[in-house]
Amino acid sequence: MDWEKIVREISTKTASKIILLVLDGLGGLPIQGETELEAAHTPNLDRLAAKSVCGLADPVFMGITPGSGPAHLSLFGYNPLKYLLGRGILEALGSGVEVAKNDLVARGNFATLRDNLIIDRRAGRIPTSENEKLCQRLNSSLKSVEGIEITLFPGKEHRFVVKFSGEGLSDALSDADSQKDNKPRVPAQALSKEAAKTAQIVNDFMDEVIDLLKDSPRANAVLLRGFSKHPSLPSMGELYKLKPAAIANYPMYKGLARLVGMDVLTAGQSLPELFAALEKNYKDYDFIYVHVKKTDSAGEDGNFKAKKEAIEESDTYIPRLLALKPEVLVVTSDHSTPSLLKSHSWHPNPFLLFSKTSLVDKVSRFTEKECSQGYLGRFQAIYAMPLMLAHAGKLKKFGA
């Protein structure tokens, strides 16, 4: 099915509004008999689930562990197997980095190297202020390699974006990151003959950073992943006739939103600020995506208690969403991040859709097991957007 072709023909502009709340990394696995979502006290989400249609959504396919990019693309109705986005371009655009046609960007982590092992991929989550000083120091010391200029742009905590500017660069590179602590450094490898020179430039840069930061106790190495150049996607406005906006406070999600044509709204770092931004801008848009990161961060840290508390905090804002009276409200996640695994996983995401036209099922709690009994069953997340549009009255009849 050519969804993009069909939706261009049947989508229609209406005044109805859609809110998509993404609690990043929401799904979990049991620890002492309960997942984080099952252990959390979520009276508002539970009441909402009891008035909604529910299910479980697989970001790509069953068994596939997705990155945040393809997982979000699915939720926005884009085939994640067609649009292969590197993490670097998402992080770069979300950080406000200008990316020219010939530029190559990657998402970076400052890391702790000891005895040739990466013992902490996040350098103890160094303060953002320290990150900024490190980037400034490297930018003033790095040498141009074969005519390629290298620039670092600080992000939050340990994260940064690196941009390689010059002719002949390729993004056909493997990640220079083992993605696990207590592993040796991993060089970038060329995935095509044309990328061999670029791989050498990247690896020389990473070696030079170690030399320049040898006196730094925590952040003395860098890891790079998601090498990418600027892609081209149809906008949500073109496809769905929407005026969409995004409220997020991490660069990668802002970058993804910009790539699909969303306005990225100004919001602070806390949940109160996120939801205040939603209320302030609600009247100006007909699709608003709200991203909550804390659930995912706690899962990646293996902190069951913190993830449970992040879910409970998010639950307290559900009445404020309902007070806006959107025609469609969806609460779900991009992917699961069980504390048990300390990483993204292949497990499906709990999903609820609240609308006057939803066929209410017998789900009484917003949990993984309860949602598995919902009328939507288990489905691919790419169907979330058609469902949202349909329940908002934004799709005309298909065919005669």
What counts of helices (H) and strands (E) characterise the chain?
A: 15, 14
Sorted by where each starts, the structural domains of the chain and their CATH numbers stand as: 3-85+234-391 (3.40.720.10), 91-228 (3.30.70)
SS3 264: strand
Residue 289 has a pLDDT of 98
Strand partners, 330: 20, 353
Given CA atoms 271, 275, 281, 285 in this order, what sign does their dihedral have?
positive
- Rounded to whole angstroms, how far apart are CA atoms 336 and 59? 10
- Is-contact 272 304, C-beta < 8 A? no
H helix intervals, the chain: 3-10, 36-39, 43-49, 68-75, 87-94, 128-141, 196-212, 236-240, 251-259, 271-281, 294-300, 304-315, 318-323, 368-371, 384-391
Phi, psi of 12 (to 5 degrees): -140, 145
Per-residue pLDDT of 213-235, as tens digits, reads 998 888 999 999 999 988 888 99
pTM: 0.78
How large a percentage of the chain has pLDDT more than 70?
A: 100
DSSP class of residue 213 equals T
Average the pLDDT over each of 71-80, 114-123, 315-324 and give the range with the smallest value: 114-123
Residue 256 has a pLDDT of 86
SS3 10: helix
How large a percentage of the chain has pLDDT more than 90?
A: 79
pLDDT mean over 70-93: 88
Other Cβ atoms within 10 Å of 233 Cβ, number: 17
- Is-contact 295 285, C-beta < 8 A? no
Mean pLDDT score of the chain, rounded to an integer?
93
**In Å, how far are 281, 310, 329, 391 from 286, measured between CA atoms?**
10, 27, 12, 13
Which residues in 127-145 are b (16+ Cβ under 10 Å) and which e?
eeebbeebbeebeeebeeb
Residue 143 has a pLDDT of 79
DSSP class of residue 336 equals B
Residue 1 has a pLDDT of 65
- Rounded to whole angstroms, how far apart are CA atoms 391 and 187? 48
- Rounded to whole angstroms, how far apart are CA atoms 311 and 196? 45
pLDDT at 197 over 90: yes
> Between 311 and 215, where is the model more confident?
311
